[in-house]
Chain A
């Protein structure tokens, strides 16, 4: 079974600073995908960034980047130049590449950006 662990229930960061959210996962699969989703107070689930396990290069989307360590089964999210609009719950998620392709979510990290 796949499990996803987010060990930081809550974090805060000053506006314009950088913050890193942690995520580890457990799987016996060799091919899979990893995601970070953002859920602001509006409740909408928004895809922030994705990583294919077969790619060694870390994914980057504007101010968001990941540190993917496949051997360590670690997938952290770095947010640079934090903005007030980044305040949200952040969920790490895992998906198998073959078979049932539902998402397995972590328990989330509530991030607050302080002005």
Chain B
């Protein structure tokens, strides 16, 4: 069983389009994250949600909007895509509070976004 899944794994789109990346975790974790890995392989946090509440919102353009319909899902919507948005986007999850607390983050397989 896949612990953290992302769809799609590859996404090729044109500048100006709007696209979404979906993430689901079946680990029962209370916190989910989006990280961006740029062309130089550097990974940086974008957002963090705990029980559907936004916890971390790093300096990312307003064109990026995370949405958490429930604590098992954290989707990333990107408006008006730009060439510089091309990257690999990783979703991750962890249990931060309460029973089963762990500081380990489990990552999804990543979504390679290419904007042409």
User: Could you tell me which A residues sit within 8 Å of B by CB distance?
Assistant: 33, 35, 39, 42-45, 47, 50, 89, 91, 95, 97, 100-105, 107-108
Contact = CB atoms under 8 A, between A and B. Distances in A.
Contacts of B33: 102
B56 A43 contact: no
B96 interface: yes
A46 B41 CA distance: 15
8 contacts: A35-B104, A39-B41, A42-B109, A47-B105, A97-B103, A100-B55, A107-B40, A108-B41
Nearest to B44: A105
**How big is the B interface, by class?**
20 to 34
B103 A101 contact: yes
Given A100-B48, A100-B55, A100-B56, A45 B42 contact: no
Contact of A91 (B43, B109, B110): B43
Contacts of A89: 41
Contacts of B110: 43-45
Contact of A102 (B56, B88, B107): B56
Contacts, number: 49
Interface of B: 31, 33, 35, 40-45, 48, 55-56, 88, 90, 92, 94, 96, 103-107, 109-110, 112
B43 A47 contact: no
Contact of A43 (B44, B105, B109): B109
B41 A47 contact: no
Contacts of B109: 42-44
Given A45-B90, A107-B41, A33 B48 contact: no
Contacts of B94: 101
B91 to A, nearest CB: 10
Given A107-B40, A108-B41, A43 B88 contact: yes
Given A47-B105, A102-B45, 15 more contacts: A43-B110, A44-B107, A44-B110, A45-B90, A45-B92, A47-B104, A50-B104, A100-B55, A102-B33, A102-B56, A103-B35, A103-B45, A105-B42, A107-B40, A108-B41
Given A43-B109, A44-B107, A45-B90, A101 B31 contact: yes
A108 to B, nearest CB: 5
